Structure 1
Amino acid sequence: MTEDHVQRFLIGDVEVLRVVEWQGPFAPAAALVPDCAPEVWQAHEDVLVPEHLEARGGRAVAALQTWVLRSGGRTVLVDTGVGNGRERPGNPLFHRRQGDFPGRLERAGIRPRDVDVVINTHLHADHVGWNTLDAGGEWAPAFPRARYLLPAADDRHFGPAGGYGGVTQPMDRLVYEDSVAPVHRAGQTVLWEDAYRIDEHLVLEAAPGHTPGSGVLRVESGGERAVFVGDLLHSPVQILRPECSSCFCLDPAQAARTRERVLERAAQERALVVPAHFGGTGAVEVRRAPHGFSLHRWAA
């Protein structure tokens, strides 16, 4: 799909739209998922190339995107990408980025005032960037009517109470101050722990490991199910080998345990798995396999 394309599908009565901020070759596959041996990537090139892995060059293909859900009369955004004009030193893709993501949302029929709920599955830079806009030299909430649902454990870790993540990543303080703190000051945040029900179809559940507060969004409607897993998965290779965590996981062992648990339930329930960064059609059903899970059916 092109960056300006909007993908739509239904989960029962819940409409899902996918709006892409950017997609393309992202990082060397061996660096993105360092626990995964090169021969595993090679053995599965038939399902990875070209939408998730370059045919030549060895880089993983990824997308920065927002999933928009229309449920129970509400418009819900799942993650908000990188944003424009951010100071992100050390990351050329994110640093002072300029793009037309708000225009893409509007062309998909989503105006800022239409948004009722914003979910940040966790508080990394590429999941909170469009939380805010530059309003005359100050950052302000981009969605003036929305409740922003933030994982409390991440807010403690990445916020001032946790020393901005111990400043292990220089970006952490910058990300919090331009994309999270302004929403707190506006009184629009809800901090949640363990689980949080949004409506009869949507519930957030804790899924720690990638970050302390990483969460997944479960959707159930009309006998159909999906789970939006954020950065629990960066590549389909982690479905095939769920013990392999990404280089961005703060607790790789816990992330692997969480990934196994979430994928096991998805396989049992025949739920569509919707990661934050997959290219291609972006979502897939999984089934249990001898050494992990298999890619059963991609979303239409």
Structure 2
Amino acid sequence: MAGPAFRLSTLFPDWDETIFHVHEDWLVPHYVNPEKMTALLNMHSWILQFNGQTILVDTCIGNDKDRMPAEKWHQVQSPYLERLAQAGFEPEDIDMVMCTHLHVDHVGWNTRLLGGRWVPTFPNAKYIFSRTEFEHFQANAADMDRISFDDSVLPIIEHGLAEMTDGNHVLGEGLLLEPAPGHTPGHVTLTLEAGNHTAIFTGDILHHPLQIHYPHWNSRFCSLPDEARTSRRRVLEYCVERDALLMPAHFGPPHCCKIDRAGEAYSIRWYQN
């Protein structure tokens, strides 16, 4: 699903338009609209099949939900479940749902409307929430995030499907949740290690590939700026050291990449497999 098209100067307080010309050869057409100078963001989930488990990471916007004033997200009727089926998965096949954080665009398909009630979309799954994140949103969520907390998070609690995690948390062999605060106070990453292969699912630690080249840039949505920079650096260093796949929530196609060090910053190797 195409995400919101923020002007780069709005998304990144440190934006300098000369930077576009430095990177124009790869930014267009997938990552920047040059006519409007907007960042092209994606919204997608990831599915892992690992050690007999099927795990869904982040659940996007959801259907039938009140999301005003975000008109493009309001009462959406997207083919999310149909696309899931095309990939070979029914909702009942999902064993675990992991939300990197609880913003509106990462929890929407946690639930669906059935008989006038919000019920878990994935009835056989454990839903993994950071306790720090849950308690922060429970106390502080406002506007759209309050509405999505009420219709996409609380019903999971009420149905007894939530599992709260604290600190580093092993989900299974080769699967590690780690705190990565900054974008939100309780944001987490999921690292998968299988032999020589490693991937890290990073949610909103990076919104846009330009942040690989400029890791000190925070988006306007990072609530704890210093911690966001620290988490971003840690993840990028991990990717360099382990040749790990970076699996963000909002990058356009091909959606994931590997990272090389470039002086005090980093560069991108897009993953085409």
TM-score bracket, normalised by the shorter chain, equals over 0.9
Q: More strand per residue: 1 or 2?
A: 1
SS in 1 for 2:44: strand
Which residue in the other structure is 1:98 paired with?
Answer: 77
Letter in structure 2 aligned against 1:260: R
Which residue does 2:44 correspond to in 1?
65
The alpha carbon displacement at 1:298 in A equals: 2.6
Measure the CA separation in 1 of the matches of 2:12 and 2:271: 22
Residue matched to 2:120: 141
Say which SS state the counterpart of residue 33 (structure 2) adopts. coil
Is 1:25–1:54's contact at 8 Å kept on the other side of the alignment?
A: no
* 8 Å Cα contact 2:112/2:118 also seen in 1: yes
1:88–1:199 Cα change, 3 Å: same
Please tell me whether residue 270 in structure 1 is matched to residue 246 in structure 2: no
- Judged with a 3 Å threshold, the aligned counterparts in structure 2 of structure 1 residues 148 and 25 are, in CA distance, closer, same or farther, namely closer
Query: Is residue 38 of structure 1 aligned with residue 17 of structure 2?
Result: yes
Contact 1:282–1:299 (CA under 8 A) maintained in structure 2: no
What is the distance in 2 between the residues matched to 1:115 and 1:297?
Answer: 28
Superposed displacement of residue 35, structure 1: 2.3
Give the 3 Å change call, closer, same or farther, for CA 25–132 of structure 1 in structure 2.
closer
1:241/1:291 contact within 8 Å kept: no
Which residue in 2 is equivalent to 1:218?
191
- 2:14 match: secondary structure: coil
* Secondary structure at 1:64 match in 2: coil
Aligned-residue identity in percent: 39
Paired residue secondary structure (1:93) = helix
* Structure 1 residue 58, shift from structure 2 partner: 0.7
Amino acid at match of 1:207: A
1:236 to 171, 187, 209: 209
Query: TM-score, normalising length from structure 1?
Result: 0.88
| Distance change >3 Å, CA 24–CA 187, structure 1 → 2 | closer
Letter in 2 for 1:105: L
Q: What is the TM-score when the length of structure 2 is the normalising length?
A: 0.96
Q: 1:52 aligned to 25, 31, 56, which one?
A: 31
Aligned runs of 1:4-23 on 2, under 5 Å? 22-23=1-2
Matched-pair contact (CA < 8 Å) for 1:25–1:59: no
Match of 1:200 among 173, 181, 185: 173
Shift of 1:24: 5.9
Structure 1 alignment gaps of length 5 or more:
1-21
Aligned-partner residue type, residue 64 of structure 2:
G
> 1:291: how far off?
3.7
